[in-house]
Amino acid sequence: MQPGALEPSAWVQRWSGLVPAAASVLDVACGSGRHVRWFAARGARVTAIDRDAAALAALRSLPDVVVVEADIEAQGWPLPGRQFDAVVVTNYLWRALLPTLVASVAEDGVLIYETFARGNETIGRPSNPDFLLAPGELLRATGALRVIGYEDGFIATEPQRFVQRIAAVREGGAAPPRRYPL
């Protein structure tokens, strides 16, 4: 495991202020659960999905965490129709799932997404284009949401990587308009 591997992504940390205390949070392809722990420590009710039983084992004892072991690529979406105050995805891309992820964001909820982008094949893994976002792909996939933050580029600090990341909200009918701190 790399140093800092259990630290939450800086992108997730930056935008987690949009997630209220006691919110319902979905962490998709959660792996060892760095973001599960981050949000659970802030009082959120977290649903953690991954196909790796060993990675999920340590999360099963956390309070207010529901663990779902599922291979969403082979078996389909295990939470049809469910919506969450926040949907978090990092270092994972399954294009067929993008519309479901957007639909899983509740009214006034937030999608925080960060994964590898085209160009990463020039510096390491992943290098398969199936796992690299095309320029602007997250913007197009989240068209039903209001984009609060978006980046598409190269991170020069170690580990170096090309990424695309977005923070987007599903606006409700709140008046006056909600303020989203940058």
For 11-64, how does the pLDDT look when each residue is reduced to its tens digit (9 = 90+)?
999 999 999 999 999 999 999 999 999 999 999 999 999 999 999 999 999 999
Beta bridge partners of 28: 49, 89
> For residue 5, what pLDDT is reported?
55
Q: What is the CATH number of the domain that holds 117?
A: 3.40.50.150
Q: Residue 109 corresponds to which tokens in the numbers above? A: 């909820």
Band the pLDDT of 4: cuts 50, 70, 90.
very low
The letter for the amino acid at 112 is I
- Residue 139, classed as helix, strand or coil, is helix
- Into how many domains does the chain fold? 1
Asked if the peptide bond before residue 159 counts as cis, ω within 30 degrees of 0, the response is: yes
Stated pTM of the model: 0.94
Task: With beta carbons less than 8 A apart as the criterion, state whether 72 and 97 touch.
Answer: yes
Band the pLDDT of 174: cuts 50, 70, 90.
low
Tokens 């796992």 sit at which residue? 131
Asked whether residue 167 carries a pLDDT value surpassing 80, the answer given is yes
Mean of pLDDT values over 59-84: 96
Q: pLDDT per residue over 89-133, tens digit each?
A: 999 999 999 999 999 999 999 999 999 999 999 999 999 999 999
What residues make up the domain containing 108?
10-169
The letter for the amino acid at 71 is D
pLDDT above 90 covers a percentage of the chain that reads 88
Domain-located, residue 178: no
For residue 129, give Cα distances in angstroms to 52, 70, 115, 125. 23, 24, 13, 10
Tokens 């980046």 sit at which residue? 151
- Residue 169, classed as helix, strand or coil, is strand
Task: Classify burial at 181, counting beta carbons within 10 Å of its beta carbon; exposed 0-12, middle 13-18, buried 19 or more.
Answer: exposed
Domain-located, residue 181: no
Domain-located, residue 99: yes
Tell me the average pLDDT of the chain: 93
Q: Which of 166, 164, 167 is nearest to 119 (CA)?
A: 164
Domain-located, residue 93: yes
